[in-house]
């Protein structure tokens, strides 16, 4: 990898960090080390990098805020690509926003609230990027990105930049076209919101923050909800009823506050966290016959 990294350095792609701990790049604060993280400065730089990695047959992954990823404790012998430089934002008229994939979703939610635009209140507690949120169709409080995304500019696997409109993105509960086409990369999105009353919008955000602090273990690193709620049920309740709430493995714990959160309460390894995820899944399946769908993506566990 050293030779590959040196060649990338010579290509003027953007900032490069070498031999980095993945604890810095995931909200679980766990994982091994990555050979390098590259921050492309433009779409052209991203294309140049991807073509090079394809030619050299080097594994790579696009990384947002790492809020839904669990890397293994092994070294990641590949290139992680962060689109932090894709953070431009432009208001188009009174209700629309064009925003880069690397822009913080929480920051965007608070900014639109200040502008008196309603529709992104659900996102005020989701610690991801716009690109990651579109990919996951992130949501909360019975709303999600599918309700506000008008179109998305993407880079296709054959390096073409095209625009996909809402209908083409096939948004469903925690699912999108991009999940089923992981080599198609979100570059920016156009969101369509509604005009509301600033004070009312900010009050909703404030109230929901209070509710999250009371009901979720935000004092510890986690990746939010581990499992999707099955139809007409709640994953947290099923895990709690199975008697697993508060269970520990190494430095990881099934949260005592909300059983659908696994927290890194004491320098947990990724293996500790994954053990608890698998255990919760298997116990609920065994006791209730419900196959909980895991929201997190496991990387480098092969």
Both structure tokens of 16? 């490069």
pLDDT tens profile 6-52? 999 999 999 999 999 999 999 999 999 999 999 999 999 999 999 99
**pLDDT band at residue 302 using 50, 70 and 90 as cut-offs:** confident
Q: Tell me the CATH class for 2-82.
A: alpha beta
Is the pLDDT at 234 greater than 90? The verdict is: yes
Tell me which of 283 and 67 has the higher pLDDT. Answer: 283
Mapping DSSP onto H, E and C, the string for the chain reads CHHHHHHHHCCCCEEEEEEEEHHHCCCCCCCCEEEEEEEECCHHHHHHHHHHHHHCCCCEEEECCCCCEEECCCCEEEEEEECCCCCCEEEECCCEEEEECCCEHHHHHHHHHHCCEECCHHHHHCCCEHHHHHHHCCEECCEEHHHCEEEEEEECCCCCEEEEEHHHHCCECCECHHHHCCCCEEEEEEEECEECCHHHHHHHHHHHHHHHHHHCCCCCCCCCCCECCCCCCCHHHHHHHCCCCCCEECCEEECCCCCCCEEECCCCCHHHHHHHHHHHHHHHHHHHCCCCCECCEEECCC
Q: Tell me the CATH class for 89-201.
A: alpha beta
What mean pLDDT do residues 129-137 have? 95
Residue 174 is predicted with a pLDDT of 87
pTM: 0.92
Q: Where are the domains of the chain?
A: 2-82, 89-201, 217-299
Q: Please, what is the Cα angle at 98 between 96 and 100, to 5 degrees?
A: 150
Do 254 and 239 form a contact (C-beta atoms < 8 A)? yes
- Give the CA diameter of the chain: 56
Residue 182 is predicted with a pLDDT of 87
Establish whether domains 89-201 and 217-299 are of one fold: no
Among 83, 106, 62, residue whose Cα is nearest residue 15:
83
CATH number for the domain running over 217-299: 3.90.78.10
Catalytic residues: 174, 225, 295
* Chain mean position to CA 76: 19
Is the pLDDT at 242 greater than 90? The verdict is: yes
232-263 as b/e: b if 16+ CB within 10 A: eeebbebbbebebbebebbebbbbebbbbbbb
């Amino acid at each position: 990898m050293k030779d590959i990294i040196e060649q990338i350095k010579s290509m003027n792609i953007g900032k490069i960090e070498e031999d980095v701990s993945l604890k810095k790049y995931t909200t679980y604060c766990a994982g091994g080390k990555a050979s390098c993280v590259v921050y492309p400065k433009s779409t052209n730089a991203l294309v140049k990098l991807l073509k090079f990695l394809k030619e050299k047959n080097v594994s790579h992954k696009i990384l947002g805020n790492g809020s839904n990823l669990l890397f293994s404790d092994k070294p990641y012998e590949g290139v992680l690509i962060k689109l932090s430089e894709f953070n431009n934002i432009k208001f188009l008229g009174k209700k629309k926003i064009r925003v880069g994939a690397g822009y913080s979703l929480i920051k965007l939610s608070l900014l639109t609230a200040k502008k008196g635009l309603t529709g992104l209140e659900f996102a005020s507690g989701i610690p991801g990027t716009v690109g990651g949120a579109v990919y996951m169709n992130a949501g909360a409080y019975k709303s999600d990105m599918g309700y506000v995304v008008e179109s998305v500019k993407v880079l296709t696997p054959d390096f073409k930049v095209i625009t996909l409109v809402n209908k083409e993105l096939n948004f469903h509960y925690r699912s999108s076209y991009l999940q089923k086409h992981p080599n198609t990369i979100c570059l920016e999105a156009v969101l369509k919101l509604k005009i509301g009353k600033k004070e009312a919008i900010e009050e909703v955000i404030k109230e929901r923050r209070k509710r999250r602090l009371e009901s979720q273990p935000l004092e510890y690193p986690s990746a939010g909800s581990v499992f999707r709620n099955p139809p007409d049920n709640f994953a947290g309740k099923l895990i709690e009823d199975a008697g697993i709430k508060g269970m520990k493995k190494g430095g990881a714990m099934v949260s005592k506050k909300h059983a659908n959160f696994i927290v890194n309460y004491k320098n947990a390894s990724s293996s500790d966290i994954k053990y608890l995820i698998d255990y919760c899944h298997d116990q609920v399946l065994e006791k209730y016959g419900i196959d909980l769908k895991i929201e997190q993506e496991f990387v480098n566990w092969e």
